[in-house]
A and B are shown apart, each in its own frame.
Chain A
Amino acid sequence: MSAAIEARALRRTFGDFEAVAGIDLDVEYGEIYGFLGPNGAGKSTTVKMLCTLLGISSGSASVAGFDVASQPSDIRLRIGVALQDSSIDGKQTGREMLNLQGRLYGLGKADITSRMDDVIGLVDIGDAIDNRVDSYSGGMKRRLDLAMSLIHRPQVLFLDEPTTGLDPASRSSVWTEVRRLNREYGMTIFLTTQYLEEADELAGRVGIIANGLIEAEGAPGALKREIGTDLIQAEVDGDVEAAAEALRAIDGIDEVQTHNNELALVTADGAAVIAQVAVALDGCGVPVRSLTLRTPTLDDVYLHVTGTHFGGDDTFADESADENDLETTS
């Protein structure tokens, strides 16, 4: 049985610009796959190709067992898509939009009535469902957008940055619904996000995309473990390079990265070495403003594989990164 989503050397160019530079994907049925990357990384372009909205420049891809280039109609019957911006006609009411969406998918009256009852609960906006969408808040629009993408009970659901711009409460409600759809209906969900927390919270596996290439892929926990059990972060004044040199001499420190006046230390056992770190910093005469021990986050994973902070342009000076530490798919 083929995967829910497969891509091989998938590539898309716009003139000379290579938005997606040849990616491979395998998303199994029933999986929530998080596609993580900053703005401009190639997430939305990938989604648009997989959804048949954008032609591919080269390579191949299939969704629900159908080829995106030669069988787009079969794919459209089986996928639901909530694109990055809420794609809604503001002149219609919420109920009209849901009804229209059902008709666009060829549903009969009985099916539309039944499905609307189901998805209106998701929108959770009470009587406002009969108000024009123009009057909705951003959160209400996103929830309606999600409900519209579910009206035909798709097999594979694409969510392109579903919570961008939402307040924390609305974000939480979308997360709850995504989990429920996956748990109760076994729906395959391909989720793009620029929020590390969102990918961490929802996705069974994560692909990190940067500059059109998947730089790392795996379960969030596994990805974090790959770069070390613990991280020690130190914010210092003075000569950062001198401090880094002193820290590299400590047994048990696997890696030292510097970024402006910050030091990031990768270690298997932070509690065992943090005292030595404090002593070493004191010994080299560098004033310490803060010293923190924590477990790695996806931001640390992103930093490790791309050399930049997630969402930031500053390059980390990676002194000892081993490029083979992670399952690198590019």
Chain B
Amino acid sequence: MTTTAAPAEPGDTSANPTEYQPLARRASALHDFVTTASRSIRGIFREPEFFIPAFIVPVFFFAVNVGALQDFAQQSGAVDDFKAFQLPVAIIFAVTGISRASALVTDIQSGYFDRLLLTPIRRPMLLLGLMAADIVSIIMLTIPVLVLGLVLGVSFTTGILGMVVFIAYGALWGLAFAGFPYAIALKTGNPAAVNSSFILFFPFAFLTTSFLPKEALTGWLSTVATYNPVTYVLDGLRSLITEGWEWATLAEGIAFTLALMVFSFGLASLAMRGRIRRG
């Protein structure tokens, strides 16, 4: 009778090398996502300083725009309720450019990103985990801005469900824009370059119907606003407040947002591939 040795336990490095069974294994995509997302979300709450300017900017613009333009806009007949008209702008200002790209740059500079690449985790999950944290950040910024609007008298014709959609709509836009700072972070690994990505915010946020409805815009600004996806996102958000469930308007904004998301995260994916290839 012959006896055979028991198979090596996973991770037993003292076994015959040919019998070594790794303790590590390729986990499910969901496991990978939860792992990276939980770390990124934990990181948000350890950087409270991240939220202060992100909250002040939209509140400041909301207060200034309403204070300076409300009477003019309403008396001219361009807008019926300027506060309701401005609340979506405050949301766009709050969420555009919000991302964990600075944390990604820190990972790249510290070498932790390399450590992540050395693990069997799926590469796309490194970005998706960050995006999960972005959604949490955006919602945390959107809710106080929305509450401020409600306190100041803005009411939603679509009710509470409309407010939920309003927040989700803003989050989708914020996420779509986040692909740009990620692309810059992965391409350059430079915090200054990532910070400068904020400049992209200006054409998107100002060359649109931020202050007046599209009918009141003229010349080149009207043309640019027509091609600016923010115009359609603002239309969608405003419709939830003042018009009710206008599905075509909502769908148009979502379509533009998704198109931008494909483009920005396409750039980010290319930048990640390049970084992995360069090492």
Answer yes or no: do A and B interact.
yes
Is there contact, CB below 8 Å, between B22 and A155? yes
Is there contact, CB below 8 Å, between A52 and B25? no
A309 within 8 A of B: no
Is there contact, CB below 8 Å, between B115 and A152? no
Q: Interface stretch among A73-81, A227-235, A276-284?
A: A73-81
Is there contact, CB below 8 Å, between A152 and B24? yes
What's the nearest-Cβ distance from chain B to residue A117, in Å? 14
Is there contact, CB below 8 Å, between A155 and B279? no
State whether A77 and B114 are in contact (beta carbons under 8 Å apart), knowing that A1-B17, A91-B47 are contacts in the complex.
Answer: no
In the bound assembly, the distance between CA atoms of A48 and B277 in angstroms comes to 12
Q: Which of B14, B47, B115, B279 is in CB contact (< 8 Å) with A55? A: B279
Interface members, chain B 58-94 (any A CB < 8 Å): none
What's the nearest-Cβ distance from chain B to residue A61, in Å? 14
Is there contact, CB below 8 Å, between B24 and A77? yes
Q: Which of B26, B27, B115, B121 is in CB contact (< 8 Å) with A148? A: B115
Closest to B18 in A: A1
* Number of chain B residues close to chain A: CB under 8 A: 35
Is there contact, CB below 8 Å, between B26 and A73? yes
What's the nearest-Cβ distance from chain B to residue A173, in Å? 21
What's the nearest-Cβ distance from chain B to residue A80, in Å? 9
In the bound assembly, the distance between CA atoms of A76 and B115 in angstroms comes to 11
B35 within 8 A of A: yes
How many A-B residue pairs have C-beta atoms within 8 angstroms? Tell me.
117
In the bound assembly, the distance between CA atoms of A88 and B277 in angstroms comes to 22
In the bound assembly, the distance between CA atoms of A83 and B110 in angstroms comes to 11
In the bound assembly, the distance between CA atoms of A65 and B19 in angstroms comes to 12
Residue-wise, chain A 130-160 has the 8 Å CB interface mask toward B (1 for contact) of: 0010000000000000001000111100000
A106 within 8 A of B: yes
What's the nearest-Cβ distance from chain B to residue A119, in Å? 12
Is there contact, CB below 8 Å, between A103 and B118? no
What's the nearest-Cβ distance from chain B to residue A44, in Å? 10
B116 within 8 A of A: yes
Q: Which of A4, A91, A106 is in CB contact (< 8 Å) with B24? A: A106
Q: Which of A88, A100, A105 is in CB contact (< 8 Å) with B120? A: A105
Closest to B12 in A: A153
Q: Which residues of B contact A96 (CB under 8 A)?
A: 39, 42
A175 within 8 A of B: no
Q: Which residues of B contact A115 (CB under 8 A)?
A: 23
Is there contact, CB below 8 Å, between B115 and A83? yes
B residues whose Cβ falls under 8 Å from a Cβ of A: 10-14, 17-18, 20, 22-27, 31, 35, 39, 42-43, 46-47, 107, 110-112, 114-121, 277, 279
A residues whose Cβ falls under 8 Å from a Cβ of B: 1, 4, 29-30, 48, 51-55, 64-65, 73, 76-79, 81, 83-92, 96, 100-101, 103-107, 111, 115, 132, 148, 152-155, 184-188
13 contacts between A and B (CB under 8 A): A65-B18, A73-B120, A86-B111, A87-B110, A88-B110, A92-B42, A105-B119, A106-B24, A106-B120, A107-B23, A107-B24, A148-B115, A188-B13
